[in-house]
Chains A and B, each alone.
Chain A
């Protein structure tokens, strides 16, 4: 009998991440197409209260253990592998975020089955899984067919809208008792919170974001001018923060903040998946990049293939001008 489709409900610091619902929405499509049940899998310690919004799934498998209170990837992988061996799902969808990063690869290694990384879509054709995976920083995709069961899939943020997967009812709960070794080679110590930044970019309505394309720290002023003119703030992709041009509190993306402003101007940002996942739900995305093939143009609503250093000042001036005109007319 064909096994169920499993979705790992990503639990972190006692809460379910948004991506859980995205992957549930995707998982439901897949399980329906395969004619089997969708089961959410929840790992952690004292997590039963988290099942309320998992109604998209037919049931939830709860794996509760003291050792799962701390975010040690290997322990989670070990617990999940035990459950998989016991229950034999045919597909396991794992959210691919900093929280669950290594899980898919660890699972596949332990179970000696295939793993597909960086998936942005999963379909079913002829009863087989067809997985679309992102490669080369977003410049290519591979369509692959996992051949073994279970197929372990690492799902990128954004595969489906989260509200499609969120159903505010608790499905039937099944518990799985797992044996975990008493001692581990990795000890969890503590979380280190980011330094309180001057502003919380996730609360800004307008963000002007800079990437490698601004080339040097000086050009940050161009972004600051535009942000000022629009009443917003400056943020950036990882390389800009790594260079020390902006503090960590301004980083948008996989390791940074997820933002959903009314306006997101992406200046000199290529649009690699790690960044896109942090801003793809912005209301209006305008991208400026001198590379016409930059993947950001597949995410943006409006695109400008030109030099950031030319466009930003021009736009700042135009905005100022318009504001003056409005003020005079008033």
Chain B
């Protein structure tokens, strides 16, 4: 990265910001909050300064990277970056194996509104995670419902990849939809949605109670633990996601959940907790891999998988939908298919419930 945050601030002071705008190094920023976490002055670099600089960089590029352009256009039009029909967002429910209530079909109040998000709704691999979490919620007797086809991307990646207009549009939409139903708590399986709701939606007076599924399930650990019967004879290492971990300091709950699985061995990577290394999906990075590759940059996800494999673990556990596809890709590219598999925590828990 030619212009890391510290240098950007220096250039700003020296009145030389145009050079930064003309270089495309800011496209490398994956909004991982590492700089924000380190800043001794607590400046919100990730949320404010970097998106602003990134916006200027993108506006000056002769051509916007095609994949990113498509993802942003799709988010605006269809509420998901894949460009799938909004009317297919809840299709996964049909094969969930347990009842999943959809608010638009049954608008009675619920204890929990589960905000599923795009990757868990549309990607086959993400849908497996959605089904796992549905099973867990059902087993715990939680009274929950989802927005189904009314749900649209929370918009966080739009915002942190600079697209404020897109973000505002999605935020306004989601606030409207949320106001239609009554629930006590929003639980989300996506740390990026969590990040958006907690820190950005406050601009529109978002004041619903909010939790990521990890702390939520950890609250129910007493009742969950006896259900986890199947012994796990593997070693697992947990990847701290940036939004959940570094930004919101949720470190121990995912580990507590994993350790509740009988027989499991938890090992730590060198860079863990606040020092975690991003999978590279945030800030638009999810759709810039081709761009990076053309420039010869190493993918962060590959770097991280190497570290995971070095721990000797068999399973790389994650708690963010981006990480599943990014790490599984990296595992394939690096040729580690026989050494390591990638699983979401909910998948491991659901698996442990089966006898």
Identify the A interface with B (CB < 8 A).
Answer: 215-218, 243, 307, 313
Contact = CB atoms under 8 A, between A and B. Distances in A.
Given A243-B66, A307-B124, A216 B289 contact: yes
Complex A-B, nearest 9 residue pairs according to Cβ-Cβ distance, in ascending order: A216-B290, A217-B290, A216-B67, A218-B290, A218-B293, A243-B66, A307-B124, A218-B289, A216-B289
Contacts of B223: none
A313 B335 CA distance: 12
Centre residue among B124, B289, B290 by max chain A CB count within 10 A: B290
Contacts of B293: 217-218
Contacts of B289: 216, 218
B66 A313 contact: no
Interface string B314-352: 000000000000000000100000000000000000000
A204 B289 CA distance: 31
Interface of B: 66-67, 124, 289-290, 293-294, 332
Contacts of A307: 124
A215 B74 CA distance: 13
B124 A215 contact: no
Contacts of B124: 307
A76 B289 CA distance: 49
Contacts of A313: 332
Nearest to B70: A215
Nearest to A306: B124
Given A216-B290, A243-B66, 11 more contacts: A215-B67, A216-B67, A216-B289, A217-B290, A217-B293, A217-B294, A218-B289, A218-B290, A218-B293, A307-B124, A313-B332
A215 B290 CA distance: 10
A216 B290 CA distance: 7
Contacts of A217: 290, 293-294
Nearest to A243: B66
Nearest to B292: A218
A268 to B, nearest CB: 13
A215 B66 CA distance: 10
A216 B66 CA distance: 9
A292 to B, nearest CB: 11
13 contacts: A215-B67, A216-B67, A216-B289, A216-B290, A217-B290, A217-B293, A217-B294, A218-B289, A218-B290, A218-B293, A243-B66, A307-B124, A313-B332
A218 B294 CA distance: 9
A217 B332 CA distance: 17
Contacts of B67: 215-216
B329 to A, nearest CB: 9
Nearest to B299: A218
A313 B293 CA distance: 20
A40 to B, nearest CB: 45
A218 B332 CA distance: 13
Residue of A216, A217, A313 with highest tally of chain B CB at under 10 A:
A216
A140 B197 CA distance: 42
B71 to A, nearest CB: 10
Contacts of A215: 67
A218 B326 CA distance: 13
A320 B26 CA distance: 42
A222 to B, nearest CB: 10
Contacts of A216: 67, 289-290
A145 B67 CA distance: 43
Nearest to A219: B290
A216 B332 CA distance: 17
Contacts of B332: 313
Nearest to B124: A307
A307 B124 CA distance: 9
A25 B99 CA distance: 57
Nearest to A245: B290
Nearest to B67: A216
A212 B67 CA distance: 11
A84 to B, nearest CB: 44
A56 B154 CA distance: 63
A273 B290 CA distance: 29
A217 B66 CA distance: 10
B8 to A, nearest CB: 28
A216 B124 CA distance: 18
A307 B332 CA distance: 15
